[in-house]
Amino acid sequence: MKQAYGKSQASLRVWFWRAARFFRTRARELRMIVKALLFTGHPVLVHVIPMRRCNLACTYCNEFDDVSNPVPLEEMKKRLDHLAAMGTSIITISGGEPLLHPQLDEIIGHIRHHGMIAGMITNGFLLTRERIERLNAAGLEHLQISIDNTVPDEVSKKSLKTLDQKLVLLGNFAYFQVNINSVLGSGVKDPEDALRIAHRAVDLGLTSTVGIIHDHNGQFKPLGGREIEIFEEIMNLGKRSFSRFNGFQHRVARGQEHDWRCRAGSRYLYICEDGLVHWCSQQRGYPGTPLAEYTREMREREYRTEKGCAPGCTVSCVQQVGILDNWRAPQTLQPVAAPVAGAGLVNIAREPTPQESGAGKT
């Protein structure tokens, strides 16, 4: 009896703090949108990489290694200070696997200390109740896990089977919003998996989204009839997610190119583990400038620079940021920066292959 009372008290505490964080984050997101509509000189969303190493090795992924060390905390703080000085609204920590970074909580705390919204993309394998409570305490506001299948296979271990207990823990103890992303498209063995994953997420009180991957020639391949149905059903399930505003994804699902203005390098930045600014995870090497030397003028130039990869782009987070500015400032400039020599980066001259498309990246 006493135990049951203690349990319900704990659930009530989680419910209260989750609701409090939800409304606080929504109010901050609303402020972020108003600021982005009024002013164009600051980054809206920045992905930072404190840890390139990963504890998994998904065969499609080009965003990890198994050797690198964590970026030192003081260096991460300097980068975050710099991004805060630019007026950045949202920081999403990505990898590799960020939970491998020994001072991840301090990094999240530093983002919040600057008043920026703190999110993270993880494969979820290292989550425990204790780790989730530490993320609560650090002030994390969003977390995303991408699940590729219902049972692990040779391509990906990120399956519902291996991660279900982690999702239950998140459903029970996380104060922050948790989104589960599933994937459809070429290379996905059973499209019904995406639906099972999305329904499980929603049953646990989490949100769900769906990503689409390229075919084997790096081109769009329209989804089949049943896949389209699944896609639309998951988009409808994702009512609490901003992805429902993303009309691009509906066109990608049907293999259609889209007409939009990619503001990567300006409103969206990707900061690699070496502290260099890149357009996005799939166009690393452009512009490849150290963050400390990345000036307002450079951001303004990128704002007006047309990206040749935009019509076939599947990077949905940059497209969502693009919505804020698609109606203004036509892009009339061409890229000037050269790729960083010898960095083994993704080549802009061609479409990314499915392995490079990153659609299933955590």
Could you list the residues that contact ligand SF4 (CB under 6 A)?
54, 56-58, 61, 63-64, 95-97, 123, 262, 264, 279-280, 282-283, 307, 309-310, 313, 315, 318, 361-362
Q: Which is nearer to ligand SF4, 93 or 264 (CB)?
A: 264
Q: Which is nearer to ligand SF4, 139 or 265 (CB)?
A: 265
- DSSP of 326-340: TTS----B---PPPP
Q: Which is nearer to ligand SF4, 57 or 85 (CB)?
A: 57
CA 329 to chain centre: 26
* Least distance CB 120 / ligand SF4 (angstroms): 12
Residue 16 CA neighbour count, 13 Å, CB half: 6
For residue 73, the tally of other CB atoms under 10 A from its CB is 16
For residues 166 and 200, the answer to whether their CB atoms sit within 8 Å is no
Please list the alpha-helical segments (H only) found in 39-139.
73-85, 104-113, 129-138
* Least distance CB 53 / ligand SF4 (angstroms): 9
Q: Which is nearer to ligand SF4, 100 or 135 (CB)?
A: 100
* Least distance CB 68 / ligand SF4 (angstroms): 12
* Least distance CB 309 / ligand SF4 (angstroms): 3
For the chain, the straight-line distance linking the first and the last C-alpha, in angstroms and rounded, comes to 41
Strand blocks (E) in the chain: 45-51, 90-95, 117-122, 142-147, 177-185, 207-213, 268-271, 276-278, 287-290
In which residue are the tokens 């020599």 written? 341
* Least distance CB 24 / ligand SF4 (angstroms): 29
Q: How far apart are CA 86 and CA 96, in angstroms?
A: 25
Q: Which is nearer to ligand SF4, 28 or 251 (CB)?
A: 251
Q: How far apart are CA 347 and CA 349, in angstroms?
A: 6
* CB-based burial label for 9 (10 Å; 0-12, 13-18, 19+): exposed
Q: Which is nearer to ligand SF4, 77 or 278 (CB)?
A: 278
Q: Which is nearer to ligand SF4, 181 or 282 (CB)?
A: 282
* Least distance CB 311 / ligand SF4 (angstroms): 8
* Least distance CB 262 / ligand SF4 (angstroms): 3
51: β partners: 95
For residues 243 and 321, the answer to whether their CB atoms sit within 8 Å is no
Q: Which is nearer to ligand SF4, 195 or 269 (CB)?
A: 269
* Least distance CB 114 / ligand SF4 (angstroms): 25
For residue 189, the tally of other CB atoms under 10 A from its CB is 11
